[in-house]
Amino acid sequence: MNKSMTFSPVQLKVLGDAVGIAEELVSNHYKMSSTQWLRSRYDIKTLKELEGDEIVDGPFAQVLGYEARKKDGALGSSILNYYTVCFQDSTILKKLAQNKELLLLPFLVYITTHELVHIVRFAKFQQIYSASSEAQCAMEEERKVHAITASILKGVAINGMDKTLLYYQKWL
């Protein structure tokens, strides 16, 4: 995939809004305080910032997990899990161009909420990150995460969210 179709500055602002909305919705759903939320370390990257394996064809975004160790920490308990949500701008923008019923903000809220649910599930050991790429396990996990995402977003008053939820209904 090339990096020719990336989010514009206006679209990046919409993504920022979507991330804020999704963080609040996911933390409310899981009843997580802001302190607990910050323990789930993650970063958001868009296509301009992605390299190598972070760029994929197909999905609208993916979560990649990394491990970091404190400089002075030799023990396994000093390992920190860190996640990056890699947005695939081109894939998202192509889908929006193909399906005029989908609007950018609700679509990005859905994608972000979905990816944050994955991160919370990894952090709470409800899903093991290393097993998430195994085909059978991955499909089952995607179904679970889509169901949780739909539950979180059902009734959210964002113009166009109903069309986005309808688009993703095939995963439920």
- Residue ranges of the alpha helices (H) in 9-157? 9-29, 34-39, 89-98, 104-123, 135-153
Reading the chain (172 residues) residue by residue, the pLDDT tens digits are 455 699 999 999 999 999 999 999 999 999 988 777 666 688 999 999 999 989 998 899 999 988 776 666 555 556 677 889 999 999 999 999 999 999 999 999 999 999 999 998 887 665 554 444 545 556 788 889 999 999 999 989 999 999 999 999 887 6
Contact 105, 17 (CB under 8 A): yes
Q: What are the residue ranges spanned by the domains of the chain?
A: 9-171
Contact 45, 87 (CB under 8 A): yes
Contact 56, 17 (CB under 8 A): no
Task: List b or e across 34-44, with b for residues whose CB sees 16 or more CB atoms inside 10 angstroms.
Answer: eeebeebebeb
Residue 65 to residue 47: CA distance in whole angstroms: 17
Residue 46 to residue 82: CA distance in whole angstroms: 17
In degrees rounded to 5, what are phi and psi of residue 44?
Answer: -110, 130
In degrees rounded to 5, what are phi and psi of residue 64?
Answer: -115, 135
Residue 116 to residue 25: CA distance in whole angstroms: 10
Strands 79-87 and 61-69: antiparallel
